[in-house]
Structure 1
Amino acid sequence: MLGKKQNANPLRLRPNYEALNLPAAEIHFSNFGKQVGRADGAFRSVFRGRSMELEDLREYVAGDNLRDIDWKSSSRTGEILVRNYVADKKRRFMFVVDTGRNMLGAMPDGHSKTAAGIITAASAAYMCTKAGAEYQIIGGMEAGRQERFSCGPGFLEAQLRRLEGCYNMSVQLAGKKKAALTDEFNMQLKRIVASPMRSVSLFLITDLYGVLTLDDRLIKSICTVRDLYVILMEDADWGSSHIYNAQTGVAVSEYLSYSSGMADEISNKKADLQAKAMRNLRACGASYEVVRSTQDITESIIKVLNRGVG
């Protein structure tokens, strides 16, 4: 895992939420039937993702359906308000984000996988909410922590701040020999799978290293009973200056970093490992996307949620 030196300053990275409103309309949760059956209350409705029961009113945001505007309340308050409906069966997501030292590395576009992971979690949670789902976000280092499923701006911000805390801890512990963080992501998933979570989809945000550390039997057991979505942040290519090993924190010498022979060997090895990981995910029935640039995050989320298996 290659990267550039991270500083210890607190992270605060957020996507442009307003720009996500229109893309969120493309999400249709086509595999909803795998999560719940008729006994759980799932059935088709002419109103996509909602019932006729009014839950509350909220301020209009760009991308909302104009048919949902409550004109009486809007004229009374002077603000454009839209109706929120109680979902027939709300979809629930658990976003499990790898916050190990491997995520401190860089991507091909030069951005850190840490930044991409936070933006992906925030964007996916926001877009799923717009599509009528609830969620919680769990960092790979948060042993055993689970919260209520919810949504809304305040809830999302609290979840992201907790996630940033996990990444900041990884930065502080990077390079320390006693910091055994490499298996936390795998252990967290095992704890989650062992807990009773009816009708909850898992959405993993990690990289190639994180996927390779997962037990194949664990992935199969997840896909047997619930949907599994995976976003992988691709590692930076070999052949630039001022790079270091994200696992050890040791800088790579200029002589090695510009070695064409070393670059070819690492590129071929990465391609082989990535092909193996993709075969395993595909065989288990998981939906996945590989992200090479932060600009691809929104499109990748839509593809993976719509079962866009590559």
Structure 2
Amino acid sequence: MMGKKHNTGTLRLRPDYEALNLPSAQIHFNGFSKTVGRSDGAFRSVFRGRSMELEDLREYVAGDNLRDIDWKSSSRTGEILVRNYVADKKRRFMFVVDTGKNMLGAMPDGHSKTAAGIITAASAAYMCTRAGAEYQILGSMEAGRQERYSCGPGFLEASLRRLEGCYSMSVKLAGRKKALLSDEFNMQLRRITSTPMRSVSLFLITDLYGVLTLDDRLIRSICSVRDLYVLLMEDADWGSSHIYNAQTGVAVSEYLSYSSRMANEISDKKAALLTKAMRNLRACGASYDIVRSTQDITESIIKVLNRGVG
């Protein structure tokens, strides 16, 4: 886990929300029957994830299903309006974002895993809302904290601000002598699953270390009763200047960082660990993908939500 030094000032990273409208229409929420049933008050209809009970109307946004346009209301008001259905809010997601020191490292495209994690959480939450779901976002350092399930620009921005605060704390802790990698991500997941979460799907955003720290029995237990989605931010390859150990905050000398022997050993080790992590997720029944570049985030979100496997 390595990367370039980060600015410890306030973070503010956001995706282009407007560009996510069209991709959001590709989400089908495959595996919906595992988390929503008649006991949850849901029911099937000819519309994907919708009941026939109209809740309200809203202005059309590029990417909306044309079948949802209310033509009578649109002609009366002069604006294109689409229908919202009550069942749109039956699907709930809990986004659990790894905000540990391991996420301070870099990705193969040079971006930090911190930036990728924030953009992924923002993009996934926005796209799930567009597909008719509510959510909450929790960082791994927010011990015992749970928010209401909601949606909307204000709610999303407040959630992302808290997430950025968790990452800022990790940056400050990274330079301390006793700054060791912790099991915060796994402990947070245990706290979350120890409380009833009816009809809630879990969406984990982490890296290779985070996946390897997950308890296999816990993951199997989660997958047996609800959908589990995992996006893994890949670590950068060895072999560049100005890198440091994300665990301790100590710079790596260029003598070592440019060592071809060291690079080969680390590459082989990373490949072996990645294979192990993916095998475990596949065996448990989780839907997952590996994000190698920030440009791949949108495609990876759609893939895992549609139950594709990386």
TM-score (normalizing by structure 1): 0.95
Residue 212 (structure 1) aligned with residue 212 (structure 2): yes
Residue 85 (structure 1) aligned with residue 114 (structure 2): no
**Aligned-pair distance for 1:157?**
1.0
AA matched with 1:106: A
Whether the 8 Å contact between 1:96 and 1:137 is mirrored in structure 2 is yes
Once the two structures are superposed, what CA deviation does each residue of 1:206-232 show, in whole Å capped at 9, x if it has no partner? 000111111111111111111111000
Whether the 8 Å contact between 1:42 and 1:88 is mirrored in structure 2 is no
**Aligned-pair distance for 1:184?**
1.1
- Whole-angstrom distance in 2 between the partners of 1:211 and 1:162: 23
Residue 125 (structure 1) aligned with residue 125 (structure 2): yes
- Whole-angstrom distance in 2 between the partners of 1:79 and 1:29: 29
- Whole-angstrom distance in 2 between the partners of 1:204 and 1:289: 11
AA matched with 1:205: I
**Aligned-pair distance for 1:76?**
5.9
Identity value in percent: 87
- Whole-angstrom distance in 1 between the partners of 2:68 and 2:302: 24
> What's the counterpart of residue 16 of structure 1?
16
- Whole-angstrom distance in 1 between the partners of 2:109 and 2:164: 21
Matched residue SS, 1:223: helix
Whether the 8 Å contact between 1:141 and 1:181 is mirrored in structure 2 is no
Q: CA-atom RMSD, angstroms?
A: 1.6
Whether the 8 Å contact between 2:3 and 2:104 is mirrored in structure 1 is yes
Whether the 8 Å contact between 2:96 and 2:202 is mirrored in structure 1 is yes
- Whole-angstrom distance in 1 between the partners of 2:102 and 2:274: 15
Matched residue SS, 1:299: helix
Whether the 8 Å contact between 1:140 and 1:188 is mirrored in structure 2 is yes
Distance 1:111 1:89, change over 3 A: closer
- Whole-angstrom distance in 2 between the partners of 1:124 and 1:176: 33
- Which stretch of the first structure deviates more once superposed, 221-230 or 67-76? 67-76
- Whole-angstrom distance in 2 between the partners of 1:88 and 1:295: 29
> What's the counterpart of residue 289 of structure 1?
289
**Aligned-pair distance for 1:166?**
0.7
**Aligned-pair distance for 1:187?**
0.8
AA matched with 1:263: A
User: Which residues in structure 2 correspond to 1:176-187 (within 5 Å)?
Assistant: 176-179=176-179, 182-187=182-187
User: Which residues in structure 2 correspond to 1:115-264 (within 5 Å)?
Assistant: 115-179=115-179, 182-264=182-264
Residue 277 (structure 1) aligned with residue 282 (structure 2): no
Whether the 8 Å contact between 2:89 and 2:133 is mirrored in structure 1 is no
Count of residue pairs brought into register by the alignment: 310
Whether the 8 Å contact between 1:121 and 1:205 is mirrored in structure 2 is yes
AA matched with 1:61: V
AA matched with 2:169: M
- Whole-angstrom distance in 1 between the partners of 2:255 and 2:171: 26
Matched residue SS, 2:127: helix
AA matched with 1:68: D
Whether the 8 Å contact between 2:44 and 2:51 is mirrored in structure 1 is no
Once the two structures are superposed, what CA deviation does each residue of 1:3-62 show, in whole Å capped at 9, x if it has no partner? 100111111111111111111111111101111233323332012222222222222211
- Whole-angstrom distance in 2 between the partners of 1:88 and 1:114: 31
- Whole-angstrom distance in 1 between the partners of 2:125 and 2:194: 23
Matched residue SS, 1:237: coil
> What's the counterpart of residue 95 of structure 2?
95
- Whole-angstrom distance in 2 between the partners of 1:275 and 1:265: 16
Distance 1:170 1:200, change over 3 A: same
TM-score (normalizing by structure 2): 0.95
Matched residue SS, 2:87: coil
Matched residue SS, 1:212: helix
- Whole-angstrom distance in 2 between the partners of 1:80 and 1:13: 31
Matched residue SS, 1:205: strand
**Aligned-pair distance for 1:67?**
3.9
- Whole-angstrom distance in 2 between the partners of 1:76 and 1:37: 38
- Whole-angstrom distance in 2 between the partners of 1:225 and 1:6: 39
Once the two structures are superposed, what CA deviation does each residue of 1:142-162 show, in whole Å capped at 9, x if it has no partner? 001111111111111111111
Whether the 8 Å contact between 2:100 and 2:140 is mirrored in structure 1 is yes
- Whole-angstrom distance in 2 between the partners of 1:308 and 1:169: 34
Once the two structures are superposed, what CA deviation does each residue of 1:56-110 show, in whole Å capped at 9, x if it has no partner? 2222211123343345555665544332221177111100000000000000000
Distance 1:172 1:76, change over 3 A: farther
Matched residue SS, 1:304: helix
Structure 2: runs of 5 or more not aligned: none
- Whole-angstrom distance in 1 between the partners of 2:188 and 2:268: 30
